[in-house]
Amino acid sequence: MSAFQRQILLPDFGAAGQEKLSRARVLVVGAGGLGCPVLLYLAAAGVGGIGIVDGDTVSESNLNRQVLYGPDDIGLPKAEIAARRLREQFPNTEFEALPFFMDVENALETIARFDVVVDGSDNFPTRYMVNDACYLLQKPLVQGAVYQYEGQVAVFDAQRGRSTYRDLYPVPPAAGDAPNCSETGVLGVLPGIIGLMQAAETIKCITGVGQPLLDKALFYHFKNASFFEVEIAPHPDAQAMMPANEAAFRAMHYADACERVQDILWTEAQALLERRPETLLLDIREEEEGPNVHVRSRRWPMSRLLQDASELTADMPLVLFCRSGVRSRHLAGVLQKSGRHTQVYSIEGGLQHPLSPIHHSVTHG
């Protein structure tokens, strides 16, 4: 008796379908609200290899929808926690934790190692980058996204279909057009539903059972339980918007089109410093604002960085802090816009935040 007996029994699926699943390697981009249900159900179905790419850590507000994590995981890297939990439950699948954010430097080599890509990321730069990379590498892409009470699912496959995400939306919206989940509300079941639809489409792509949502986009509305499906027609500008080859892909500035600064907590900054020792922790306060407060930080006043930031090694992850978190947020935006850094964080609340090292030394001695 196999764990997959009940799906092998299905007409059209059978042992051949199971064999295809067990040989397939799927990359799940983002182990969040969409990624968690995708991962759980693809693993349960017996997909042979699953890569989990996510550079984020678990935070408390994730727990209403990111069902692979619990309170004890707060502050820990999602990709590693997800892989650990899934390995315990699904011995037939090989899991690979990829605890980093996708960028133009690592996207192509990462995606190339997989057969199908499932995008459950939470921002437009990643969505456009993954779309373009999948098109260049001719990999099927199963896309899902949510906004408040609504979700959308689509499948793009350069080999079997004729459209990409850019035929639906040629260029990313301006920042603020469509805020992400951390800024707007989301009910946990919605990404659950959309994520499971992505898992279903992925299984269809791999096994050939049924017709995937190829060249179509399916919209779902939670409030009236309604679906709306549209057919995607090729957009005349879509090709021109995409990088034509791998070198052009590496030169793209996806974050520019829709940059947003990521605020992190002191605890998350600490975790990042441990996980990626090359991370530079920058104290951007002016010299006269008091002594250094963190053993790992380097003092680099904002006034100096605004004039010349070329001394900062390109592509090194940067974590900025100041007194209250306002200036560091602004400067993080400037540095991100420069295109030399893909990972720039600002510590929320700066040194005034209760978790800051200053408060620690005050309260604990």
Partner 1 sequence: MTTQPTIQLLAFGIVAEKAGSSRLSISGVSDTEQLLEALYQQHPALREVRFAIAVNRKIVHENTPLQADSEVALLPPFSGG
Give least dist CB 133 to partner 1, A. Answer: 17
Nearer to partner 1, 110 or 121 (CB): 121
Least distance in angstroms from the C-beta of 236 to partner 1:
6
Kindly tell me which of 35 and 317 has the beta carbon lying closer to partner 1. Answer: 35
Q: Which is nearer to partner 1, 13 or 156 (CB)?
A: 156
Instruction: Convert 192-226 to b/e letters by CB count within 10 Å (16 or more is b).
Output: bbbbbbbbbbbbbbbbebeebbbbbbbebebeeee
The least CB distance from residue 190 to partner 1, in Å, is: 9
Give 8 or 178: the residue with its C-beta nearer to partner 1. Answer: 178
Cα–Cα distance for residue pair 278/341, rounded to 1 Å? 13
CB 316, min distance to partner 1, A: 26
Residues 6+ apart with CB under 8 A from 33: 62, 65, 66, 120, 122, 146, 181, 186, 188, 190, 191, 192, 195
The Cα–Cα gap between 360 and 365 comes to 8
Q: Select 255 or 282, whichever has its Cβ closest to partner 1.
A: 255
The H-or-E segment that residue 89 falls in is helix 78-89
Contact 131, 166 (CB under 8 A): yes
The three-point CA angle 291-270-85 to 5° equals 175
Minimum CB–partner distance for residue 107 and partner 1 (Å): 16
- Closest CB to partner 1 among residues 76, 219: 219
Closest approach of Cβ 151 to partner 1, in Å?
A: 7
Closest alpha carbon to 139 in 123, 169, 167, 160: 160
Q: Within a 10 A sphere around the Cβ of 352, how many other Cβ atoms?
A: 12
Residues 114/27, Cβ–Cβ less than 8 Å: yes
Question: Closest distance between partner 1 and the C-beta of residue 4, in Å?
Answer: 28
CA distances to 20, 95, 141, 161 from 211, rounded to whole Å, are 16, 27, 15, 12
**Residues of the chain by 3-state class (helix, strand, coil), percent to 5:** 40, 20, 45
Task: Provide the binding-site residues for partner 1, judged by CB under 8 A.
Answer: 30, 32-35, 120-124, 127, 144-148, 150-152, 167-169, 171, 173-174, 177-181, 184, 186, 191, 217, 219, 221, 228-233, 235-236
